[in-house]
């Protein structure tokens, strides 16, 4: 079951943890980060099994060249994991133009460019698996994370369409939907909007209201068996929740949505003409 895997954002968080797990079990891994020096220890330990690559995922030309380099180095690619990205915190009104554009460049366009670069390789092979690190926040929204939500909703939209477009080529698509984990998502890699005092009260109660207390966060290392099972699956799911909180809340949120849509059904049908 040895796989050849291309993974972005592999120098920290889930990316680092999963990369180490792949290598430990014998997979071949091409791992990217803005600075490939972050992989020095892994390169020394795993030799030809590991290909460290510097990559800015917002540079489309560089993305295509880097994915092709990985394919030529290993001869094929089985799995591409779009893990790179970061969080933006702040109410919608608080997040400025540059911050918004920058996070869309990374979380949406970077993911799209890597996906587009991998597809010709997968089509030629007649097989492949595209894995997008989305989030439960690509399925429903949280206050003060609206711009981050928007990036993940966008990834969900094109990835769901993509799955239908490429299934006859032998290509699978999976979106991973983690709930909160004790990674650095909210730490040094995160960007914060310009605070507006009007939202202070909301922010002070948000953790308790939305299940964001310390005990609600999962352990990142517990995700490893799930990821290994996913990439080994012959029939992987379109979406995979990670953690015990995401699916129950999704069920509640969508039950409420369906009830509201049903309540307005007559208005909707009358609008058909």
Q: Is 16 a catalytic residue?
A: no
Q: Is 244 a catalytic residue?
A: no
Q: Is 148 a catalytic residue?
A: yes
CB 69 within 8 A of CB 62: no
Nearest 10 degrees: Cα torsion 217, 107, 131, 186: -10
**Annotated active-site residue in 11, 33, 134, 135:** 134
**Whole-angstrom distance, CA of residue 34 vs CA of residue 11:** 9
**Annotated active-site residue in 86, 148, 199, 217:** 148
Burial 148-171 (b: 16+ CB within 10 A, else e): bbbbbbbbbebbeebbeebeeeeb
**Whole-angstrom distance, CA of residue 262 vs CA of residue 41:** 56
**Annotated active-site residue in 152, 159, 181, 199:** 152
Angle at 184 between CA 180 and CA 189, to 5 degrees: 120
Q: State the first-to-last Cα distance of the chain, in angstroms, to the nearest integer.
A: 55
CB 95 within 8 A of CB 57: no
Which burial class, exposed, middle or buried, applies to 204 when counting CB atoms under 10 A from its CB (0-12, 13-18, 19+)?
exposed
Which residues are catalytically annotated?
134, 148, 152
């Amino acid at each position: 079951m040895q796989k050849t895997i291309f993974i972005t954002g592999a120098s920290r968080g889930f990316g680092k943890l999963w990369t180490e797990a792949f290598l430990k079990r014998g997979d071949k891994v091409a791992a990217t980060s803005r600075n490939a020096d972050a992989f020095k220890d892994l390169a020394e330990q795993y030799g030809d099994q590991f290909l460290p690559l510097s990559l800015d995922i917002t540079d489309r030309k560089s993305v295509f060249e880097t994915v092709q380099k990985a394919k030529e180095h290993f001869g094929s690619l089985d799995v591409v994991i779009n893990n790179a990205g970061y969080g933006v915190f702040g109410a919608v009104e608080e997040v400025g133009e540059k911050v918004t554009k920058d996070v869309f460049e990374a979380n949406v366009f970077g993911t799209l460019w890597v996906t587009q670069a991998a597809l010709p390789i997968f089509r030629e092979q007649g097989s492949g698996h595209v894995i997008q690190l989305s989030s439960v926040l690509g399925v429903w929204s949280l206050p003060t994370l609206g711009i981050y939500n928007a990036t993940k909703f966008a990834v969900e939209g094109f990835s769901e369409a993509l799955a239908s477009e490429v299934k006859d080529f032998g290509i699978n698509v999976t979106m991973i939907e983690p709930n909160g984990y004790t990674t650095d998502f909210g730490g040094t890699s995160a960007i914060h909007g310009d605070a507006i005092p009007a939202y202070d009260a909301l922010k002070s109660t948000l953790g308790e209201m939305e299940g964001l207390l310390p005990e609600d966060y999962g352990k990142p290392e517990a995700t490893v068996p799930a990821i290994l099972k996913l990439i080994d699956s012959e029939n992987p799911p379109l979406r995979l929740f990670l953690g015990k909180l995401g699916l129950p809340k999704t069920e509640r949120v969508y039950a409420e949505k369906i009830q509201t849509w049903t309540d307005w059904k007559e208005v909707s049908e009358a609008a058909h003409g």
